């Protein structure tokens, strides 16, 4: 039952997000929260179930690739949400979109691996690069349309 679904948030994560990962600002926190809600939407739409079923039948690298498409779609949905918030409430502040774009950059797999002093290994990516995360967030924000977030049919992420 959807009404029983819960989002569990570790709010202690917001401090390292800002201090160690360099993704500060209220909208960076919103990015993290709404990204999780977007997974719930994917679940309700049946997308997560299908994608995760396929993931069990393919190689690790292919499974990671599907994970990247799931995550980038969640970022795109988050962009749709940001657009809707602005349209409905007009509450986006100057700099909010820049904070979201910076958060997307800081939590990209390539940036995380590089900042951890590791070699960047694309086949291990599960969330997408900084550039991809920024691109899909921006796509959702600019279009406001679920159909524009079809990362599964996209030739280029
Ligand atoms: Zn995610």
pLDDT digits (tens, 9 = 90+) for 51-89: 999 999 999 999 999 999 999 999 999 999 999 999 999
Q: What is the CA 121 to chain-centroid distance, rounded?
A: 19
Q: How many CA within 13 A on the CB side of residue 11?
A: 1
Is residue 154's pLDDT more than 80?
yes
69 alpha carbon – ligand 1 mean position (Å): 10
137 alpha carbon – ligand 1 mean position (Å): 13
Q: Which two tokens stand for residue 11?
A: 């709010």
pLDDT digits (tens, 9 = 90+) for 137-148: 999 999 999 999
Nearest CA to 96 among 19, 30, 17? 30
86 alpha carbon – ligand 1 mean position (Å): 23
Using DSSP, state whether 16 is helix, strand or coil: helix
67 alpha carbon – ligand 1 mean position (Å): 9
127 alpha carbon – ligand 1 mean position (Å): 7
pLDDT digits (tens, 9 = 90+) for 84-116: 999 999 999 999 999 999 999 999 999 999 999
- Which distant-in-sequence residues (6+ apart) come within 8 Å of 95 by Cβ? 25, 27
93 alpha carbon – ligand 1 mean position (Å): 25
The model's pTM: 0.93
Based on DSSP, count helices (H) and strands (E) in the chain, helices before strands.
7, 0
């Amino acid at each position: 039952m959807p009404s029983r679904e819960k989002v569990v948030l570790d709010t202690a994560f917001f401090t390292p997000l800002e201090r160690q990962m360099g993704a500060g600002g209220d909208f960076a926190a919103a990015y993290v929260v709404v990204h999780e809600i977007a997974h719930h939407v994917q679940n309700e739409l049946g997308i997560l179930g299908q994608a995760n079923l396929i993931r069990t039948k393919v190689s690790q690298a292919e499974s990671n690739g599907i994970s990247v498409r799931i995550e980038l779609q969640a970022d795109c949905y988050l962009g749709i949400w940001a657009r809707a918030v602005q349209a409905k409430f007009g509450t986006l502040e100057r700099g909010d979109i820049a904070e979201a774009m910076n958060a997307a950059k800081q939590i990209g797999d390539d940036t995380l691996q590089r900042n951890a002093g590791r070699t960047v290994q694309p086949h291990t990516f599960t969330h997408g690069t900084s550039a991809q995360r920024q691109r899909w967030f921006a796509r959702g924000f600019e279009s406001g349309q679920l159909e524009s977030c079809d990362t599964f049919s996209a030739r280029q992420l």
